Amino acid sequence: MRLLIYGFGPYLRFKDNITEKILRKLPRRRGLKKIVFPVRFQRSQFIKTVKKYNPDAVLGLGQRSRGLHLKVELRAVNRRRNDKREKPRTIVLGGSKRLATNLKLDGGDQARISYDAGDYVCNYSMYVIIEYLKRNRLPTRFGFIHIPHHYNIDKASRFLKKALKQIRVG
């Protein structure tokens, strides 16, 4: 099984990103590709990576600026904006309003289910990847987890290792 896991680098007021730290801590394995993307609305960086590695499953990791729990995101919405003061813009003109993830993840006590990934780059990455997979009728499964910036890295790494086992079995 080929698995692509991605996270992001620093952005806005954050000098680091917990997803990058977690990906660096995750041991290398055959069939596992780890990518850290810059935080920007650039469709090609996500699609080129999916095309290049042709994974069976993709798991995205994003940083939450606040909150206590991990969030297992169940859908992406067709909107984006750089700043909360801006009016949201459409990601794909004429595209679906919402697109669902299809990688089942059991978050247990550590995570909560979320139907709102926001409208920043995490949601953008989700939407463009799911839309690409759907449009090309690819069987690739996709999931996304948001992790609070201040979350314990060891705890998050253990959670991710459990998730990886679920993905390989499921």
Predicted confidence at residue 165, as pLDDT, reads 84
Of 155, 162, 167, 136, the closest CA to residue 68 belongs to 155
- Mean pLDDT over each residue of the chain, to the nearest integer: 92
Predicted confidence at residue 108, as pLDDT, reads 78
Average pLDDT of 73-89? 92
Average pLDDT of 87-116? 91
What is the distance, to the nearest Å, from the Cα of residue 135 to the centroid of all Cα atoms in its chain?
19
Average pLDDT of 130-148? 97
Predicted confidence at residue 65, as pLDDT, reads 83
Looking at domain 3-169, its CATH superfamily turns out to be Peptidase C15, pyroglutamyl peptidase I-like (3.40.630.20)
| Whether pLDDT at 7 is above 70 | yes
Predicted confidence at residue 162, as pLDDT, reads 86
- 48 Cβ contact partners less than 8 Å away, ≥ 6 residues apart: none
Which of 53-57, 82-86, 101-105, 125-129 shows the lowest per-residue confidence on average (mean pLDDT)?
82-86
| Whether pLDDT at 170 is above 70 | no
Name residue, tokens 């909107």: 79
| Whether pLDDT at 169 is above 60 | no
**Domain residue spans of the chain:** 3-169
- The answer to whether 76 touches 22, Cβ cutoff 8 Å, is no
- As a whole number of Å, the end-to-end CA separation of the chain is 11
pTM of the full predicted structure?
0.94
